[in-house]
Amino acid sequence: MLLASFRITVLCGAFWCLNYFASEGANPNAGIVLTSAAQLFIDDYLVDKADRVVRRPHAAQKYFPNPVLTYTKPWEGHCVVAWGSVLYDQDEKLFKCWYEAYRQNEPREKQSSFLYATSKDGLYWDKPTLNLVEYKGSKQNNIIFEPKYGLDSAVVIKDFEDPNPKRRYKMMYYVMAERKGPQPGPWGLYTAVSADGIHWTPSQEPVVKAGDRSGFFFNPIRKAYTFLSRPGTPAPSTNVHRWIGIWESPDFQSFGKMHPALWPDEADGVGTEFYSLQPFVYESVLLGYLEMFYHGEKDRRYRRLDTQLAISRDGLQWDRALDRKIILPYGPAGSWDGEWAFPTSNPPIRVGDKLYVFYQGRRTFHWGTRPYSFEQQGQTYEINDPAFGHVGSIGLAFWRVDGFASMDAGKEPGTVLTNPLVIPSGDQLWINARSLGHIRVGVLNEQGQTLPGYSSEDSVSFTGDSLEHPVRWKKKHGIHELRGKTVRLRFHLQDASLYSFRVR
């Protein structure tokens, strides 16, 4: 067994977390109003001071028998792409995967199809025969959608808030029609709706003239369906070609003007571009997988793509996170994910004590039909083969729950002091932490004075490894008497890692 316990929890997704953001304060100096959601240490939003404690980013750990879903059918060509979504359906107790088959060596209008697969555990996948779309004279396949001009970068969400069950599933996708010429095609971003995620009704026209690689989610803070894509114009100040713009809609039909969101800067290096930003709700914050494309010919990463993390508090203003560290790297040259590694367009799925992150891996460099020789450790590799085009599969990687980053202290004790926090209607402070030494917690007022009974000396020391450890003090086992009050928390760490905390 991969895990001792196969308990699956659907994390805060597009619509399940509206209350998580309802009261959270935007100004740390006025007191951050906590909710029951986990508070992460991905940035300095919570942190006033850190002494002898450092933030440590954590890359996702790849599943050893990867890939978990690959091309096995003629209609999949040699590349199944995780430019789609993997969701866990609590009602059906089933993993559902919407993915793209990319047949790059076929005519442009026949290069891509949208497919559907299911799994009970996320490791072994079934490709059901659906009899919906014809491929080379037969409908005996798992293709569910194939627009006339071909699609790209489709994202599926399950919308529990829409009162119309026929719109329960929603999809954004890009139509790959020609943009230029005497008769340019109807290119752009389209929408589609479905009652079951299999039978789709698409929009007749593009709702946004942008693309191709794009992201989509429902923003619970602004209550808006949100597309993130390439505006098609040079980025502000840097003139980079690939960068991120945002379009919003209250009804999934009419989208407003573009908001500039995020673009590379000089620190990223010459030729670095943002291929896409895939946003998702995670506990108390909005996160995004940032797809990095290295286009500089002198860059050792030339024509490769990997993943960083971005963060937002409102879904419009996005920032780089974790000092721009790579959270999902590509593998060794020539391996199945040796040139491209990027997650699917959905939140990670909690299974037991892990977060499941499905991702696409490609063994071919960008522009798969162009031959490319690559040297690594004295050996020359011929990666791309024009006869095949892109070659790719879908793999799985893991994070610890809340494990994107931690605040770490070594043998020398250190402290983390938070900004002012307004305690919600909860009874207990919980920490997600690992400690070989100790973790203790003191509670202070806004001015930094320790509250009686809540000193670090009164705190019961924690040693061990727990996703949810209740913090207690010698004479106070909870914090119910602090409800509605503004306090600061001071974490005392020695040989320990603190991933998150919450009050509930």
Are 374 and 441 in the same domain? no
Q: The whole model's pTM is what?
A: 0.94
User: Do 116 and 137 fall into the same domain?
Assistant: yes
Co-location of 120 and 193 in the same domain: yes
Residue 419 covered by a domain: yes
Residues 153 and 230 in one domain: yes
**Tell me: the pLDDT tens digits for 205-256?**
999 999 999 999 999 999 999 999 999 999 998 889 999 999 999 999 999 9
**Domain annotation covers residue 238:** yes
Structure confidence by residue, pLDDT tens digits, 304-325: 999 999 999 999 999 999 999 9
Q: What's the CATH code of the domain at 498?
A: 2.60.120.260
Distances (CA, A) of 300 to 129, 303, 305, 379, 381: 43, 9, 12, 15, 14
What does the alpha-carbon distance between residue 270 and residue 298 come to, in Å, rounded to a whole number?
Answer: 9
CATH code where residue 159 lies? 2.115.10.20
Last residue of a domain, one of 365, 400, 435: 400
Say whether both 49 and 192 belong to one domain: no
Backbone Cα Rg of the chain: 24
d(CA 309, CA 304): 17
d(CA 23, CA 36): 11
Cis peptide before 67 (omega within 30 of 0): yes
**Together in a domain, 446 and 414:** yes
pLDDT digits (tens, 9 = 90+) for 380-407: 777 777 778 899 999 999 999 999 999 9
pLDDT in tens for each of the 504 residues of the chain? 344 445 676 565 444 444 445 444 445 457 999 999 999 999 999 999 999 999 999 999 999 999 999 999 999 999 999 999 999 999 999 999 999 999 988 887 889 999 999 999 999 999 999 999 999 999 999 999 999 888 999 999 999 989 999 999 999 999 988 777 666 779 999 999 999 999 999 999 999 999 999 999 999 999 999 999 999 999 998 889 999 999 999 999 999 999 999 999 999 999 999 999 999 999 999 999 999 999 988 898 989 999 999 999 999 999 999 999 999 999 998 899 999 999 999 999 999 999 999 999 999 989 877 776 767 677 777 777 777 889 999 999 999 999 999 999 999 999 999 999 999 988 999 999 999 999 999 999 999 999 999 999 999 999 999 999 999 999 998 999 999 999 999 999 999 999 999 999
SS3 assignment for 89-140:
ECCCCEEEEEEEEECCCCCHHHCEEEEEEEECCCCCEECCCCCCCCECCECC
For residues 274 and 264, the answer to whether their CB atoms sit within 8 Å is yes
Q: Is residue 346 one of the residues assigned to a domain? A: yes
Decide: 227 and 155 in contact? Cβ < 8 Å.
no
What is each CA distance from 16 to 20, 250, 287, 343, 391, in whole angstroms? 9, 17, 16, 21, 36
Instruction: Say if 2 falls within a structural domain.
Output: no
Q: What was the pLDDT predicted at 25?
A: 46
CA neighbor of 35 nearest in space, from 14, 17, 20, 18: 20
258: helix, coil or strand?
coil
Q: Which of 222, 6, 216, 266 is nearest to 119 (CA)?
A: 6
Collect contacts of 16-19 with beta carbons under 8 A, ≥24 apart: 16/160, 17/220, 17/281, 17/283, 18/220
Query: Token pair of 355, please?
Result: 């977060």
Is residue 55 located within the same domain as residue 65?
A: no
Q: Which domain does 43 fall in, by range?
A: 8-59+405-503
Same domain, 207 and 295: yes
Q: Please answer whether residues 330 and 340 qualify as being in contact, where contact means their C-beta atoms are separated by less than 8 angstroms.
A: yes
Q: Which amino acid is at 159?
A: D
| Confidence (pLDDT) at 27 | 52
140 & 161 share domain: yes
pLDDT of residue 10: 59
Residue 491 has what pLDDT?
A: 98
Tell me: do 302 and 330 sit in the same domain: yes
Flag whether 1 is in a domain.
Answer: no
Residue linked to tokens 């006033």: 48
Does 3 fall in a domain?
no
Are residues 152 and 280 both part of a single domain?
yes
Element (H, E) at 186: none
CA–CA distance, 59 with 353 (Å, rounded to integer): 16
Residue 139, in any domain of the structure: yes
- Rounded Cα distance, 87 and 317, in Å: 26
In a domain? residue 456 = yes
**Same domain assignment for residues 449 and 363:** no
* Boundary (domain end) residue, out of 368, 385, 400: 400
Which tokens go with 503?
């009050």
Domain count within the chain: 2
Q: Residue 118 in contact with residue 131, Cβ under 8 Å?
A: no
Q: Which of 339, 374, 400 is the last residue of a domain?
A: 400
